[in-house]
Amino acid sequence: MNKLFVAALKEETVGLDYFHHIGVGKINATYNLVKLIHKYKPLEVINYGTAGALKKQLSGIIECTKFYQRDMDVRGLLDLKLGQTPFDNINEIILSEEGFSCGSGDSFVKKQIEMNVDLVDMEAYALAKVCKLEDINFRCFKFISDNADTNASSDWIENCKKGAELFQIKMKDF
């Protein structure tokens, strides 16, 4: 298997039966991606999922190429920036300056956050880091399902299926 397609939830990939579902959050994503990598030995991992836009002009399917861990915060203990993990030399993953930045964390965002990123999700940083450590090519496509605001929950539910249809169209470009 050259390409491994992963998404957090079945609800995000309605009609896309070639996806493996890895669960919500950084720990579930990491654990399940590692199992899939050992089973299939892919050359490339392609992640698709939903995301909240912090930049209101974003819409549709976008490719993320810069990944940050938005909820790692040890600023009260050590002199580190938001997103930096103590004693870890991988605190950001930049595949290309082209594309958008994604802040991953284990919370559903419904208001502005401190980190300056284009969009937020719950898995992409973890997936990008596993692929970097395993020397596997990683691509990440996100459907802007909401604007990470007070309407985020209802917007996400309403827009989930729309993204799967757009992703299928996007894959025809490959």
Q: What is the pLDDT of residues 40-58, one digit of tens each?
A: 999 999 999 999 999 989 9
Q: Does domain 3-171 have CATH number 3.40.50.1580?
A: yes
> pLDDT (tens digit, 9 = 90+) per residue, 134-143?
999 999 999 9
Q: How far apart are CA 118 and CA 11, in angstroms?
A: 23
Average pLDDT, integer, range 21-27: 97
Q: Break the chain into its structural domains and give their ranges.
A: 3-171
Question: What would the 3-class secondary structure string for 7-55 be?
Answer: ECCHHHCCCCCCCEECCCCHHHHHHHHHHHHHHHCCCEEEEEEEEEECC
pLDDT tops 90 at residue 129: yes
Question: What per-residue confidence (pLDDT) applies to 174?
Answer: 65
